[in-house]
Structure 1
Amino acid sequence: MKIFGDPFFWALVSMFALAGAAAGVGSTRLGKFRSLGLLTVGMFTLGRVVLVLPAVTQPRLAAGDWSWVVGGVIFAAGMVFALPAFAIRPFTGPEAGVSLRTGGFYRIVRNPLYLSDVLWCLGLAVMFRSEIGIALVPVWWAGLWLLTIIEEESLERKLGQPYIEYRRRVRGRILPGLPL
């Protein structure tokens, strides 16, 4: 079907999943369902991966092998920042008894998983020379930034003063050092 070759279809799939993630993180009822979190992660990821692939018709950067090297380095950096994700439930509300993580990557950025999302997405777009994929990276970042606002309100309610102090110490939500 022609729709599956349309990059904007895949962008819509990803943004719809991001909206679902906001519902899961912000709602005490929806935030309890791990399956919703996994579904939104899967859709958010799938849309951004398929969007940049050569099978999807779109303008491509006229670049040589350098795009694989530069994109690969960015992608690898993103995968390194994804390591803390193995200890959390993605796109769900905070669980009872959740503890505040402040070590490792959490010392430099409050949401290393979202930094990972931005980096690997950019890395793949550069690797496959996807102009639309590169142009949408700021959109994904903005969507994740809005999600962090909802997520941090949930964490503040759940963890209280320790989380407020942590936010003051670690200024970067997604990008290290940037209070955005």
Structure 2
Amino acid sequence: MFPHRTWLIQRLQKPQPIRLNGIEVDNPFFFGGGLKNGGLSNEAMNLLRGIFRFDYMGASEFEWGAVPNALRNMAKQSSEGKLTTDLYEVAPGKVVFYVCHKDWKKDVEALLDKLYKGDDYKWLKESSHFKRSLDESSDVLGWLELDNGFAFFKDETMFGKFSKLMGIK
């Protein structure tokens, strides 16, 4: 069982480099008016930039360190050998890849089922666009759950790169 109720899920999009005078830069509006890069260091952004970019969520809860806290939690779980990966079919032909604490697999799959119902706007701070992303063409290819610290993806390449970053082969 998750230690915390899921309320914040950060949408992740396909990487799309922005160049300014030949230098790759991050969109300053990913995290609105909060901390630069939501509190992520430049080194962390360099690691993540080739995997995904952050979708602007429109709420301050995403701007003040929730993303680095979730990633830090996942890195700690990985270093302790507690992080695992799997895939789950939420509907026929709709496969989702996920990275989570090894004890949370059933909870993650239950959450994916709940998200696929499409009414997440009722119980999340901001909509995940999960169902729409799986059913239609969308820039949203992954999600980072911020309250407990796990990630899930519709894109296998993004999943593979993130798993490798987290130290999971």
TM bucket by the smaller chain? Answer: under 0.3
Q: Which has the higher helix share?
A: 1
Larger radius of gyration: 1
Q: Which has the higher strand share?
A: 2
**How high is the TM-score relative to the length of structure 1?**
0.24
**How high is the TM-score relative to the length of structure 2?**
0.25
Structure of higher RCO (CA pairs closer than 8 Å, 6+ residues apart): 2
